[in-house]
Amino acid sequence: MQELLGRLRALDPGAVISLRVIACFDELIVGGVNSQALLSAAASLTGCVVGFSIDSPARAMRVSPQGEQLAGDALVPSDVRLKWSDGALSVWLEREGDPHANDALIIERLSLALRVRYDRSGSADPRRDLGLMVDADVDEDRRFEAAARQGLSQSTRYRFVVAPLFATWRTHPAAREDVISTSSGPLHTLIVQQTTTTVEAEPVGIGQAAFVSDFPRAFRTAVVALRLTQLPDTPVVLADDYGGLLDVLAELPAGYEPADVPAVASIAGHPWGPVTLDALVRTASVREAARVAGIHHSTMTTRVQLVTETLGFEPLDGVGRLRLGLAYLLWRLHRSSTLTLPAPVDGNARTS
C-alpha cells in the first residue's frame, strides 16, 4: 500500500487521499480498535457526525468529529449515498446536503471495519480502557482496573506511541491500540514496551516511559513529541531526546506563549532562521553550531549577533540558552502542521 501511495502521489493527488483513507482503516482493523474508535476516525475524516446500529448485540452509537459520543435520536439521512445497511448493521453520516468526495469510500470502509469488529469479538465490544488510562480526571483505582483488563503490570514501564489518522505505517507493531480524542483531534494511540524507542511509521511521537499511575502525563509527552515532528526531516520524535523540557511543554495550557516566542518567530522569518536556531539549540558552541548548520564559523558568528540583538539576551550562556530552547520548541509547536489532515471531503485541510 505505501509503495502504491508513493507512485500515485506524483500522478494523482486525489487518488492518494482515497488510498490514505483505506490505509487508515486498514491500520485500525489490524489494531483491533473498538467501535467508538472506528466511528471517531470516520467522523474526523468526514467532518460530520457518524452513527451506526446493530441488531445483535442490540446497540447504537453516534460520534462527533471531536470523538465524543452523542446522546439523542439519530438523524439518519434520506440520501442513500450517505448510509449503508445489510439489514443487521447500519452506518450513516449525518451530513446536511450532498455527499462530499470520499464519503462513499469512508462509509464503505467503516462498514467493513465494523463487520470485522463484530465477527472477531462476537457480542462484546471491549471497554475504552486506553482512554480511561490516559484521562487525568479518572481516579487511580479505575486506571489500575483498566490496565489490569489490558494485561498491563503496575510495576512495569510502558510508552505511548501516537500518530494522526493519516500516518504512514511501514510496519505495524504489536500493541494495544485505540483512537483517543484529544484537544488536537483524534489520535491513533498504541501502548508499547518501554524498550521501544522508534517505530517504522511517520509522523509519530513516542512518549516517555512511565508506570500506569503516571500514564496521563506520559501520554501528554507523546502528543507533544508528535507535534514536534516535521516531515520529511524529522518523522519520529522520541520524548526522551528533550528530557524535562517535554514535561514542561506538556503541562503548559493551550495557546500559552512566553514573551520570547515572538522574537524567535521574527528570527525564523529569515531564510536562514530555522536552521540557525535549531543548530544553536542542539549544540554547545558557535563553532559546533556552524558545523551542524553546514556554514562557515564566521557566518554563524554574524548570525548569532543578529539573533542576540533580536532576542535582547545572550542565547548561548546560562539562562539565556534555556530561554532560547524553550521559546524555540514552543514556536515549533505553534506552527506545527503535523495534525492537519489532508482534505478528503471538502477541499479544506483541518486539524486531525
Give the model confidence (pLDDT) of 276-326 as tens digits. Answer: 999 999 898 999 999 999 999 999 999 999 999 999 999 998 899 999 999
Partner residues linked to 181 by β-bridges: 186
Bridge partners of residue 90, in order along the sequence: 53, 85
- Provide the mean pLDDT of the chain: 86
* HEC per residue, the chain: CHHHHHHHHCCCHHHHHHHHHHHHHHHHHHHCCCHHHHHHHHHHHHCCEEEEEECCCCEEEEECCCCCECCCCCCCCCCHHHEEECCCEEEEEECCCCCCCCHHHHHHHHHHHHHHHHHHHCCCCCCCHHHHHHCCCCCHHHHHHHHHHCCCCCCCCEEEEEECCCCEECCCCCCEEEEEEECCEEEEEEEEECCCCCCCEECEEECCCECHHHHHHHHHHHHHHHHCCECCCECEEEHHHHCHHHHHHHHCCCCCCCCCHHHHHHHHCCCCHHHHHHHHHHCCCHHHHHHHHCCCHHHHHHHHHHHHHHHCCCCCCHHHHHHHHHHHHHHHHHCCCCCEECCCCCCCCEEC
Indicate whether 102 pLDDT > 70. yes
* Residue range 172-191: mean pLDDT, rounded: 85
Order of strands across the sheet that contains 83-85: 59-63, 49-54, 89-94, 83-85
pLDDT of residue 235: 92
pTM of the full structure? 0.72
The whole-number pLDDT of residue 157 equals: 97
User: 168 - beta bridge partners?
Assistant: 202
Cell of 188: 491513533
Nearest 5°: phi and psi at 207?
A: -80, 175
